[in-house]
Amino acid sequence: MAQIYDEIGIGYNNYRHPDPRLAVSIHRALGESRTVVNVGAGAGSYEPTDRAVIAVEPSLAMIHQRRLEHAPVVQASATALPFPEAAFDAALAILTVHHWPDQPRGLREMARVARKRVVIVTWDPEVFDFWLTADYFPEITEIDRDICPSMQALRDAFGEIEVKPLPVPHDCIDGFLGAYWRRPHAYLDAGVRGAISSFSKLTDVESGLARLRSDLESGAWEHRYGHLLQQSDADLGYRLVIVDRRTHFTTSPPELSI
């Protein structure tokens, strides 16, 4: 993950701002946890300010974009968290697991350092209902299906988990891949795409952009998807996964496999 964001992370903060509606759901999932380690923390989005937080981030480009008011950060990998067992009430990971070089090891590390809860925001690879990837950039779906853990894989890893949909508001201010589902012209902006790691992995971006630009100019996009303009939010497959460590893993966490 460090290499990806060392390359595309410059200017990340211009487009990626925590959306307060998503923040409410994420912070609520942490429950009564007072100490939190934010794994793969990036520039600090969604870190709660009412709890003691330590951030872990491998990319210097992202670390340099953290503000003074953000939590202290340690440069390290999710696969080797530099903390003792049960050091925190909760371990948090937001749209980052798919970047980890060794997901099973990283998830074991989260379980190891969390006393009460593990909270993960991820994308469910079994959900494909997004016009951008279906019609214009199908390669993104192919890539993400290979790197994002399925909900069943997380159940196999952690045992019982709670999975909650995380609908994306139509005016979401956090510019991740699905943020502009009701603002299709935004994807034509190179700055917007530069803050979305999925585009950096594509072998061919221009043909998809050309099709999107043409469909927007001709009205074909609105003909197919104009009904979306009436929706206030959309379920694009983003999921909030909660593991209650007080119920599970009463001894050592099981071996995880994805």
Query: How many Å apart are CA 178 and CA 192, to the nearest integer?
Result: 11
pLDDT (0 to 100) of residue 14 = 81
Cα torsion at 172, 146, 29, 21 (round to 10°)?
Answer: 0
pLDDT (0 to 100) of residue 252 = 45
pTM of the model as a whole: 0.87
H or E element in which residue 63 lies: helix 60-63
Reduced to 3 states (helix: H, G, I; strand: E, B; else coil), residue 19 is: coil
User: H helices then E strands: how many in the chain?
Assistant: 11, 9
- 207 dihedral zone (left: phi>0; alpha: psi -120 to 50; beta): alpha
With vertex at residue 38, the alpha carbon angle to CA 33 and CA 43, rounded to the nearest 5 degrees, is: 135
Q: Domain ranges in the chain? A: 2-244
C-alpha distance from residue 19 to each of 38, 140, 172, 176 (Å): 17, 23, 6, 11
User: How many whole angstroms from its chain centre is CA 116?
Assistant: 21
- 53 dihedral zone (left: phi>0; alpha: psi -120 to 50; beta): beta
| pLDDT tens, per residue, the chain with 258 residues | 544 444 444 556 788 899 999 999 999 999 999 999 999 999 899 999 999 999 999 999 889 889 888 999 999 999 999 999 999 999 999 999 999 999 999 999 999 999 999 999 999 998 878 999 999 999 999 999 999 999 988 988 788 899 999 999 999 999 999 999 999 999 999 999 999 989 999 999 999 999 999 999 999 999 999 999 999 999 999 999 999 987 654 434 444 433
pLDDT (0 to 100) of residue 2 = 47
Superfamily name and number for 2-244: Vaccinia Virus protein VP39 (3.40.50.150)
H or E element in which residue 55 lies: strand 52-56
For tokens 């870190």, the residue is 47
